[in-house]
Each structure stands twice: as structure tokens, then as C-alpha cells.
């Protein structure tokens, strides 16, 4: 018989992000964050390549990244809406962990599996933050895919990219549930 962990299952069945704009101070301290990063690093990783790392963006770095997002938006002739959205995640940010996908050369492990593993780390970190009682939100936005922003703002190497900015701080409000997938529509049972 399986040994159930009903608290963990209840958490997974009810977990819900907290929109970044609703997050408030305080953000977790370095001490608070350490077990959450440890949990996130305990993610499935084919071939033990560890194809990811963390950049913790603390409050003091947010203004610099907001200004860089603005500068990149101007250089790329982004719309006013795209510009405002790109800088707002840093303007309103208290703390965000940039989960960085680090592609490792491997003859055995396909690149896409390293990408999947980085995505798993993002969700594990978000879930650890929520389980610890923080509000959290996984964001990207176009800046996450802008090479210049990533190089200048975060110091990423060529084999690295942003899998997600996981914003973590105190929750301001609990959002209503959002529609969830129709399980029958996305599930096929293969019996033979």
C-alpha cells in the first residue's frame, strides 16, 4: 500500500500563485530563502548535469533592472504598454530569483531535457515559497528573452538564459481561483 502524505497532496491540489503586483514587503531574508532554493535545486535532472543556477535579485538591484528594461524597450521601439509592463516587474519587485537555465554540452542528454529541468526548478521554487507561506509568482516577459538585457543586467553567458523570474514576498491578497484544465480533454488512458 502507498503511504499517503495528505497535507502535501492538499497543497498541490490547491496551490495558487499570488500575482506579483499584489506582493508586499517584507521579502524573505537570505536565511528564509536558503531552504526554498535548496528545495528547488532538488529537482529532476537527467544525467545530474545541474543545468541551472540562481541569481537572487534583491530590492537594491530592482531599480537598476527597471531602468535597463526601459532602455532596452526604447532601443527596440517597444510600445508604451510593453515598456511599462517590462519595467513594472522590477519597479514593484521586492525580491525575485532569476532561475537561469545553463545548457551543458552533453552527448547523452538532449538540450530540451535541460530546458525541462530548468522549468521544473522554477515550479519547485514557486511551490516551496507558497508552502512556506510566502506569496510567489513566476514571470518572464520579453526582457527575459532579450540577450542584451540578460548579458548587461544579469551577466549571463551565451549558454545561459532566463527560465523565470520567481517573485517572492509577503502576500497582499489571495486571488480567486482561475479556470483549470478539463482533465478529460487533456488525458488519454492507454490500457492495451
Residues that bind ligand FMN (CB under 6 A): 16-17, 137-141, 164, 178
Strands 160-171, 135-139: pairing is antiparallel
* Residue 48: C-alpha distances to residues 37, 45, 65, 74, 177 (Å): 17, 5, 32, 41, 36
15 marked as part of a ligand binding site: yes
46 marked as part of a ligand binding site: yes
In the complex, what is the shortest distance from the CB of residue 173 to ligand FMN, in angstroms, rounded to a whole number?
Answer: 14
In the complex, what is the shortest distance from the CB of residue 141 to ligand FMN, in angstroms, rounded to a whole number?
Answer: 4
In the complex, what is the shortest distance from the CB of residue 75 to ligand FMN, in angstroms, rounded to a whole number?
Answer: 20
Distance CA 25, CA 37 (A): 19
180 marked as part of a ligand binding site: no
Of 108 and 178, the one with the shorter C-beta distance to ligand FMN is 178
Q: Is 156 helix (H, G, I), strand (E, B) or coil?
A: coil
145 marked as part of a ligand binding site: no
**Neighbouring residues of 74: CB distance < 8 A, sequence distance ≥ 6:** 83
Positions at the binding site for FMN: 15-17, 42, 46, 138-140
Positions at the binding site: 15-17, 42, 46, 138-140
Amino acid at each position: 500500500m502507498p503511504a499517503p502524505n495528505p497535507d502535501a497532496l492538499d497543497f498541490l491540489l490547491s496551490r495558487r500563485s499570488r500575482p506579483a503586483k499584489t506582493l508586499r514587503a517584507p521579502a524573505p531574508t537570505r536565511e528564509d530563502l536558503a531552504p526554498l532554493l535548496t528545495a528547488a535545486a532538488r529537482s529532476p535532472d537527467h544525467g545530474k548535469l545541474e543545468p541551472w543556477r540562481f541569481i537572487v535579485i534583491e530590492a537594491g538591484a530592482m531599480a537598476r533592472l527597471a531602468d535597463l528594461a526601459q532602455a532596452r524597450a526604447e532601443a527596440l521601439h517597444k510600445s508604451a504598454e510593453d515598456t511599462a509592463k517590462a519595467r513594472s516587474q522590477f519597479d514593484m519587485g521586492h525580491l525575485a530569483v532569476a532561475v537561469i537555465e545553463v545548457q551543458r554540452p552533453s552527448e547523452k542528454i538532449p538540450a530540451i531535457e535541460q530546458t525541462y529541468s530548468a522549468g521544473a526548478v522554477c515550479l519547485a521554487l514557486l511551490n516551496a515559497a507558497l508552502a512556506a507561506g510566502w506569496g510567489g509568482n513566476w514571470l518572464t516577459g520579453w526582457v527575459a528573452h532579450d540577450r542584451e538585457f540578460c548579458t548587461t543586467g544579469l551577466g549571463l553567458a551565451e549558454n545561459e538564459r532566463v527560465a523565470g523570474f520567481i517573485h517572492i514576498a509577503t502576500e497582499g491578497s489571495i486571488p480567486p481561483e482561475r479556470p483549470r484544465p478539463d482533465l478529460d480533454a487533456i488525458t488519454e488512458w492507454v490500457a492495451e
